Amino acid sequence: MTSLIEVNNLTKVFGTHPHKALPLIEQDISNREIQKRTDQITALRNVSFNVNRGEILVVMGLSGSGKSTLIRCLNRLIKPTAGQILIEGTDIIPMKNSEVRQLRRDKFGMVFQHFALFPHKTVIENAAFGLEIRGLDAESRKKQALEALELVGLSDRENAYPAELSGGMQQRVGLARALAQDPEILLMDEAFSALDPLNRREMQDELLSLQKSVHKTIVFITHDLDEAITLGDRIVIIEAGKVIQSGVPEEILTNPSTRYVERFVEHFDVSKVLTAKSAMRRPRAVAYLNQGPRVALRKMDTADISKIFILDDSHRLAGFVTAEDAAGAIKKKEVSLSNIVQKTFVAVTEETPLQDLIEKSLKSQAAIAVIDEENYLKGMITKSHLLAALANVEEGACQS
């Protein structure tokens, strides 16, 4: 993946003499002590991360951690004190105000926690507002706004007013307004926090569904771990303006780097997020359809297993054979595995949540096969593999 956004040592200090704080930040003096010594407020300290093109990066932290300041620095609504913000390799911090305005129009869309809709404008007028500011003609504005409303499922409410919509619908209008401008980057600041739990979950699902078709690069701010895990391809956790951990959700859940991160994850059911990839193993042996029952049985004997996965001529998974069936075929002097291959088996992808495998494992006659979208065998999960993975989760939770 290529990085669309690179943030290097980003620092933001609020006050009349912000540069007084910079040497103290380098000495790792606390924010409180810096304010005491300089009367300057440190919001971000040497923050570095990248955002890959087409991914959802979630920035998570508690209130006052600096996450909202960070997202406003990314499109220069707030000018950083030091560091770099590279958009496609170009540092936007030294840009003139006119260049920044053009950058926002060309690259960025923003969705806020509070819907910020104009109550006197209709849904389609609200969705088209950014296009109107850009000077687009009325016909083009309407066309693009309608397309955006179609994406968020509100094409039938184009003439309604915000007061006639539920909170979830109003946030969809806000999302449509951002999408109508076809930005490459979407910045979403606590975008779903004002919604009730049901609408919030619905909007999270809506965003993930949209992302499959629009492929935007999204930076999403939240204080909620469940939301971060649901949405994030990767997560950046900040505390007191500093990045304290970043990584894929599974990494953060299983290996929290500090007590601060542990407090976020300690009550989370990790089995919802851990995937088949974390539990699978390479098969001790596989056989091929054209090898016959003697070869299959010998491979099972050598590997000390009683069932073996069978691959076809294209190396795709065809099924499995038991030792008993192979021995029976040998007695009947059969030379092919075709008649004894069992094609009813449980197969999952590497992304299948571990929690979903528990019931499948109990019902499966053989190990669970882990395959890719083209039916190539990637690994296998036995009941013991699954129990070991779940035990590791519980042990980690107890230690935290």
Query: Does 211 lie in the same domain as 113?
Result: yes
Asked whether residue 399 is assigned to any structural domain, the reply reads: no
How far is Cα 10 from Cα 42, in angstroms, rounded to an integer? Answer: 12
Q: Please report, to the nearest 10 degrees, the dihedral formed by the alpha carbons of residues 45, 49, 53, 57 taken in order.
A: -80
According to the model, what pLDDT value does residue 272 have? Answer: 67
pTM: 0.72
Domain termination site, one of 272, 293, 316? 272
Q: What are the pLDDT digits (tens) for 124-168?
A: 998 988 888 888 888 888 899 898 898 888 888 889 998 998 888
Query: Does 136 lie in the same domain as 123?
Result: yes
Tokens 């990790």 sit on residue: 270
Residues with Cβ within 8 Å of residue 209, at least 6 apart in sequence: none
Which CATH number characterizes residue 342's domain?
A: 3.10.580.10
Alpha carbons within 13 A on the beta-carbon side of 256 = 21
According to the model, what pLDDT value does residue 97 have? Answer: 92
Query: Does 139 lie in the same domain as 268?
Result: yes
Query: Does 306 lie in the same domain as 189?
Result: no
Does 55 score more than 80 pLDDT? yes
Query: Does 197 lie in the same domain as 291?
Result: no
In the sheet with 185-189, reading across from the earlier edge strand, the strands are: 108-111, 185-189, 217-222, 56-60, 234-239, 242-247
Q: Please report, to the nearest 10 degrees, the dihedral formed by the alpha carbons of residues 40, 44, 46, 51 taken in order.
A: -160
Domain termination site, one of 210, 238, 272? 272
Asked whether residue 28 is assigned to any structural domain, the reply reads: yes
The number of beta carbons lying within 10 Å of the beta carbon of residue 385 is 20
Domain with 329, as residue range(s), is: 277-391
Asked whether residue 300 is assigned to any structural domain, the reply reads: yes
Query: Does 111 lie in the same domain as 42?
Result: yes
Domain termination site, one of 256, 272, 288? 272
The mean pLDDT of 220-243, rounded to a whole number, is: 92
Average model confidence (pLDDT) across the chain: 88
Which CATH number characterizes residue 201's domain?
A: 3.40.50.300
Does 62 score more than 50 pLDDT? yes
Query: Does 31 lie in the same domain as 142?
Result: yes
Query: Does 183 lie in the same domain as 48?
Result: yes
Measured CA angle at 243 (ends 256, 277), to 5 deg: 40
Query: Does 252 lie in the same domain as 313?
Result: no
Contact 44, 22 (CB under 8 A): no
Query: Does 252 lie in the same domain as 122?
Result: yes
Asked whether residue 359 is assigned to any structural domain, the reply reads: yes
Asked whether residue 107 is assigned to any structural domain, the reply reads: yes
According to the model, what pLDDT value does residue 279 have? Answer: 84
Asked whether residue 396 is assigned to any structural domain, the reply reads: no
Contact 57, 232 (CB under 8 A): yes
Contact 249, 274 (CB under 8 A): no
Does 90 score more than 60 pLDDT? yes
According to the model, what pLDDT value does residue 192 have? Answer: 85
Does 398 score more than 50 pLDDT? no
Query: Does 316 lie in the same domain as 176?
Result: no
Asked whether residue 397 is assigned to any structural domain, the reply reads: no
Q: How many domains does the chain have?
A: 2
Pair type for strands 82-87 and 3-14: antiparallel
